[in-house]
Structure 1
Amino acid sequence: MSYDLVIKNGLVILEGGEVQTDVAVKDGVIAAIGENLEGAKTINANGLIVSPGMIDAHVHITDPGGNYRDEWEGYVTGTAASAKGGVTSFMEMPLNQIPATVDGKSIEIKYAAGKDKLKVDVASYGGLVPFNLEGGIQELNDHGVAAYKCFLGTCGDRTIDGDFENVDDYSLYEGMKQIAKTGKVLAVHAENPDITDRLGEIAYKNGETTLKAYVATRPVFTEVESIRRVIFLAKETGCRIHICHIACQEGVDEVIKAQQEGVDVTCETCTHYLYFTTDELDAIGPVVKCSPPIRDEKQQAGLWEHAFNGGLDFITSDHSPCTPELKDKENAFEAWGGISGIQNNVDILFDEGVQKRGLPLTKFAELIATNPADRFGLESKGRISIGKDADFVLIKPNASYVLEAEDLEYRNKISPYIGREIGAQVVQTILRGQSIYSQEEGVTKEFPGVFIKK
């Protein structure tokens, strides 16, 4: 057979282990894996790791911005950053775009906003909110969402018509019953708003301004309590659930316990929880503020242990960008809570996990690609296997560089990783057999990405 592309001489991460071999691509899919393969185009991956392209299952793109958030992150810059960072597909959250993605009309507005603007493939979450229980959930299913998302923690701006809104207990219960009928997964932001909001108000009134004080207003138990509540309702409704961005080891413990009891539940953490700790936050500033907050070294160590042992199913960026003025606050409580991180998932996780802690390459591939693909039914994605989409990231190990602001493809060049030395590099990213980023040529000017509809 004549192949369109052959990646030669790389250390390829297969499900059974890593192998020095060639991978051939035909018509955008993996056609052969073996020795001495030849194709019309060849990439010499000698000295490089050939991994499945990352599937970042937690990304916020603010397009359309509805004249409120037009200067946040659009599809063009967000997918360019993905390509440069080795992310070949991501799952887009139903906020912070205006209108929020909560019914058939709003998801079609989002699809139109992304038309001819995607450099990577994008699957969509539909929202569960108190105001879409009269048909909106079913409309989202009919229009191809891959999963659903709700917030227990406070979210959205009530002064903006069409913005997202967190659920009350009834909306969560009723929404879970409806989502269960679709067979799709409900992803949950699990924090107790009654406690965290009040603690935050008290701290602010008392003159607290630091990120360390902010972290103290969102204690571990406010995550754990919410996770337990969602798991209990999953048992009652039969809804498949996924717990987003867990920042504490006790939260993962609750998920493991529920799995052992037969609950269909998975969970994720984020790159920043595995990289930063509370003690360094105030030296960095509000650019590293997020919720749940970044916790202490003991919690970080516990999350890494769960990543190694299977308690955590995958790792995401929770890429949640905004404009500079929303971060540039002297009082941390007044700053936007979100981290821009999609461009530095792969290199940091490879460095921190594989190189510094000995994470097996097969586990690395599971955490960034295989497990999210399996959980959300992205059948053609997630592994280097014959018949799957030819989505790859080529990684150069033991190749340190210092991230500079000008390296970022984001619309607003904000990141807590700026100035950090990262010990591995993304050399090339390939989507369905097409190079979408290389160090020699930069990010493609084309838009080969598509919306993945389920």
Structure 2
Amino acid sequence: MSSSSVDLLIKGDLVLSDRVLKESCVGVVAGKIVGIYAVEQAPAATETIDATGKLVFPGMVDAHVHSYSNLHEQFENSTAAAAAGGVTTIIEMPYDQGAPVFTPEIYREKIGWIAEKAKVDVALLATLKKEGNVEAIAPLAELGACGFKLSAFETDPYRFPRIDDNVLLEVLPELAKTGLTVGFHAENDVIIEALISRYREQGKTFPKAHCETRPPISETLAVGKLLEFAYWTGAALHIYHASHPRCIDMIDWYRQQGVNVSVETCPHYLILTEDDMAEKKAFAKINPPMRSAEAVAGMWQALLDGRIDWVASDHAPWPLEKKNNPDIFSNGSGAPGVESILPLLFSEGVVKRGLGVVRLAQLLALRPAERFKLAPRKGAISVGADADFAILDPTAEWVFDAAATQSSAKWSPYDGMRVQGKVVRTVLRGKTIFADGKVLAKGGDGCYVPAV
């Protein structure tokens, strides 16, 4: 490899997509990775970051971030939180308050927001109207959408609609033609709404009622239906935020039949259980809900066995007033998570359960980047890729403090949790955007990443 001078040289334990190179160096020129070197062969550099004794991960790719589901967060806060958590690319959900991303005009406007406000790089998902609007699919794909997000559950008929089966049968073959992945929120709202109505009538509005009114069958029924649609239409399917191991079992069975399907889970389905609802209350009100301790153990096993493609945060922060109603059903659903995903998965996965660091990098960067057509630019430390890095101190022990986080929410279900492994520096395209506990990036330092 060339020994000519580089702009930036980082020395540390490099976590590649297939192995760890201990005490090695990675060189950067013009925001791109140009070489990986043994220390004694490293070129001269304008800037050097000595991360000896630390893990140099690829910049993380969080495949599930909601920046505009409420208007308190927006890119200013979500991407600052990403930078602080070692996440250099977010895949942004299309369910924006007031303007879901289902037309080329809205999509272009959102690209403009990235250029103005984002502090890390952003890829965009598109969605479709409840009635389908097939004619928008090709133009949205041409603008660089990295995939489409639809729902089997209706939160709101305009912003977050259920796409009915007859419409799915029409749109999925058209989506398949784009080669893009179509992901789903998989819950059966007929079952859930009936149960919530019954619980409300009976005055059962305690925290765990959120879990009891969304039993596992309300998720597995939706997953099974979507797998059948993928089987018959040839669509590339993704199941968002799977919470129960039976979902993974079903996906395995369809994969064996040739269905093109990926699945993610989230830290909350690995760390919290339904028994935490009494203490966490609405801070842990997330859809799908927390499951039993047995289900959580099953999700860990599936993750360790390589049956889950990646882990994403489902970052969905709400202001505190949307999370403090004693009636659990009157609170917003979702929690902040983009800042905590890497340290939590390192602490709970690598430290406590022996998850390999290479596997962690695949789960949090490579796999989502590949699936959503952001690779080889994103997702791995490799020559030619963007020089995005998350530098983590594997020995640092600390207590998660929600009040100190970058999200607009300033609360977290993990507040007060002891964590081992801390992000100490984040580098975006060769530029340090987080160090010494401070976000250094400004709005517009992030850029739009179209699918390739």
TM-score, normalised via structure 1 length: 0.95
Structure 1 unmatched runs, 5+: none
1:91 aligns with 2:123: no
Q: Secondary structure at the match of 1:342?
A: coil
Q: 1: CA distance between counterparts of 2:439 and 2:206?
A: 38
Q: Is the 8 A contact 2:208 2:278 kept in 1?
A: yes
1:131 alignment counterpart: 131
Decide whether the 8 Å contact of 2:153 with 2:161 is kept in 1.
Answer: no
Q: Does 1:18 align with 2:20?
A: yes
Give how far 1:178 is off.
Answer: 1.4
Further displaced range: 434-443 or 137-146:
434-443
Tell me the secondary structure at the aligned position of residue 101 of structure 1. coil
> Is 1:346 matched up with 2:352?
no
Q: 1:400 to 1:166 in 2, by over 3 A?
A: same
> For residue 50 of structure 2, what is the aligned residue in structure 1?
44
Deviation at 1:424, TM superposition (A): 1.4
Q: Which residue pairs with 1:389 in the alignment?
A: 386
| Structure 2 counterpart of 1:55, one-letter code | V
Paired residues of 2:134 and 2:171 also in contact (CA < 8 A): no
For residue 35 of structure 1, what is the amino acid of its counterpart?
A
> Which residue of structure 1 lines up, in the alignment, with residue 416 of structure 2?
419
Alignment match of 1:431 (pick from 422, 428, 433): 428
Shift of 1:132: 4.0
Which of 226, 232, 254 is matched with 1:230 structurally? Answer: 226
Q: Which residue of the partner structure matches residue 33 of structure 2?
A: 30
Q: Does 1:444 align with 2:449?
A: no
Alignment of 1:30-429 (within 5 A): 30-36=33-39, 37=42, 38-62=44-68, 69-70=70-71, 72-156=72-156, 158=157, 163-379=159-375, 380-429=377-426
For 2:251 and 2:398, locate their aligned partners in 1 and report how far apart those are by CA, in whole Å: 37
Measured at CA, do residues 140 and 442 of structure 1 come closer, stay the same or move farther in structure 2, by a change above 3 Å? closer
What is the RMSD of the two structures over their aligned residues, measured on CA atoms? 1.4
Task: State the alpha-carbon separation in 1 of the partners of residues 153 and 189 from structure 2.
Answer: 5
Closer, same or farther in 2 for the Cα pair 1:206/1:255, shift >3 Å?
same
- Partner SS state of residue 57, structure 1: strand
Q: Encode CA deviations 1:209-262: one digit per residue, 9 max, x unaligned.
A: 122122011111121111111111111111111000000000011111111110
Residues in 2 aligned to 1:23 and 1:428: alpha-carbon distance in whole angstroms: 15
CA drift at 1:56: 0.4
Separation (CA, whole Å) in 1 of partners of 2:32 and 2:187: 41
Q: What is the DSSP-based 3-state SS (H/G/I as helix, E as strand, rest coil) of the residue aligned with 2:129?
A: coil
2:343–2:422: 8 Å Cα contact kept in structure 1? yes
What is the alpha-carbon distance in structure 1 between the residues aligned to residue 430 and residue 63 of structure 2?
A: 22
The one-letter code sitting in structure 1 at the alignment partner of 2:145 is V
Q: Distance in 2 between matches of 1:139 and 1:98?
A: 21
Conservation of the 8 A alpha-carbon contact between 1:88 and 1:430: yes
Deviations along 1:369-410, one digit per CA (max 9) or x if unpaired, are 010011111121111111111111001112111122332111
Q: In structure 1, what residue type is equivalent to 2:10?
A: I
Shift of 1:356: 0.7
**Within 1, Cα distance between the matches of 2:193 and 2:400?**
35
Q: Compute the TM-score of the two structures, normalised by the length of structure 2.
A: 0.95
Change beyond 3 A, Cα 1:116–1:394: same
| Per-residue CA distance 1:415-448 (angstroms, 9 max, x = gap) | 1122222111100011111111012654323532
CA distance in 2, matches of 1:385, 1:48: 19
Which consecutive unaligned segments of at least 5 residues does structure 2 have? Answer: none
Q: How many Å apart are 1:341 and its aligned residue? A: 0.9
Question: Which amino acid letter does the alignment assign opposite residue 301 of structure 1?
Answer: A
| Identical-residue share of aligned pairs (%) | 35
Does the CA contact (< 8 Å) of 1:103 and 1:132 recur in 2? no
